[in-house]
Amino acid sequence: MATHRPQTQDFLEVDPSTQVMPDFSTPAFIRLRSNLTRDGVTEGDAIEQLQEGWRLWHEELKVKWREALQVRLFFLSCEMALSLSVDIS
């Protein structure tokens, strides 16, 4: 009996809890900040907006990671149950 096993690409590759928010005040993010400051937003407010956007995105990743772990655990427990119930005789 074949079972469907989720493919690797169905899962995040890195635990998001190990990720650190980038420093949006650095030169690497000047283009993002300038896109926001064109409309009269201050540099400080632009950084805060980028930080808030990152936090929201990061929270979504953490939820997806937890869901993916639950799926992995479910399939592992099913595989273990099947391997224990196989009659080898």
Domain spans of the chain? 23-85
**Positive or negative CA dihedral for 40, 43, 46, 48?**
negative
pLDDT of residue 2: 47
- Those residues with Cβ within 8 angstroms of residue 33's Cβ, 6 or more apart along the chain or in another chain: 24, 43, 46, 47, 50
Q: What is the average pLDDT across 72-83?
A: 83
The whole model's pTM is what? Answer: 0.69
Higher-pLDDT residue of 72 and 18 is 18
How confident is the model over 15-63, as pLDDT tens digits? Answer: 899 999 999 999 999 999 999 999 889 999 999 999 999 999 999 999 9
Q: Which residue has the tokens 């391997």?
A: 83
Mean predicted lDDT score pLDDT of the chain: 84
